[in-house]
Amino acid sequence: MLSRKQLQRYSRQIMLPQIGEAGQEKLGAARVLVIGLGGLGSPAALYLAAAGIGELHLVDGDKVEVSNLQRQVLYKTNHREKDKAQVAAQQLTAANPEIRIYAHCRMADEGWLTELLSQQSFDLVLDCTDNLKIRHSINRACRAQRVPVIMASVRGFSGQLVSFDFRLQSSPCYACLFPPTATQSDLPEVDNCSTVGVIGPALGVMGSTQALEAIKILVGLPVSSLNKLQLFEAGSLEWRALTLSGSSTCPVCG
């Protein structure tokens, strides 16, 4: 049962028929892992914390740099050289002290991630990284542990979003869409923010959409990005969707 304080804090959300008190209780009981606290993870984590997700785990091994501040809205100038995950946890705790937040100041390598997902029961993972090797590791670990995942990326003015519900045996996976190659497995993603640039508000759109899809998954609403590659063009404000299907030759789920 929700407390009086919770009813007041989440009142505008609870009054929605799609959420209600039952949905808010589901959010309060949820445990979500956010990997990457940069331009995507910042808005995603902010909205999840504000929505009342009961437990957030934040994973990032980087420190705040001046060049981050154009788009990573969790951080301020005085946070330079501090651990992103720790600063993010402090900022989100200040925003909503009623939820539990844990900082993991490290990169999410596959071995560590698989161990974490096998030892703790997570309802959902958000992939907010910009590294292709880590993204494939997240895909494999979430698939193996049957944890749903929401993935997003932005390059320049162009964004991508896709979700997979690995609780379903029939679900396709990220490797069906973008098969890993020997080159990709050995090298970090080449076209990231530091090499091609990115417009900050596009990251805000995609990170916020990740949070929206997360809330919908957790309360049991239809998810528009499930097994669909949603493509966003910030220059024209246009969305396109491509339906995905599993690949029989996929090295992860085929």
Return the pLDDT at 189.
Answer: 45
Q: Which of 54, 49, 57 is nearest to 104 (CA)?
A: 57
Return the pLDDT at 7.
Answer: 97
Q: What is the pTM of this model?
A: 0.94
Return the pLDDT at 186.
Answer: 39
Q: Long-range CB contacts (< 8 A, 24+ apart) of 16-19?
A: 18/219, 18/221, 19/219
- pLDDT (average), residues 103-127: 96
Domains of the chain in start order, with CATH, are 11-243 (3.40.50.720)
pLDDT of 188 > 70? The answer is no
Return the pLDDT at 180.
Answer: 85
Catalytic residue among 142, 176, 193, 253: 193
pLDDT of 190 > 90? The answer is no
Spatial CB neighbours of 24, under 8 Å, sequence gap ≥ 6: 2, 6, 10, 13, 14, 52
Return the pLDDT at 185.
Answer: 39
Mark whether 193 is an active-site residue: yes
DSSP, collapsed to helix, strand or coil, labels residue 204 as helix
CA angle 169, 172, 178 (to 5 degrees): 150
Note the pLDDT tens digit of each residue in 66-78: 999 999 999 999 9
DSSP 41: H
Note the pLDDT tens digit of each residue in 202-215: 999 999 999 999 99
pLDDT of 112 > 60? The answer is yes
Return the pLDDT at 187.
Answer: 40
Q: Which of 142, 207, 220 is nearest to 174 (CA)?
A: 142
pLDDT of 175 > 70? The answer is yes
- pLDDT (average), residues 213-219: 98
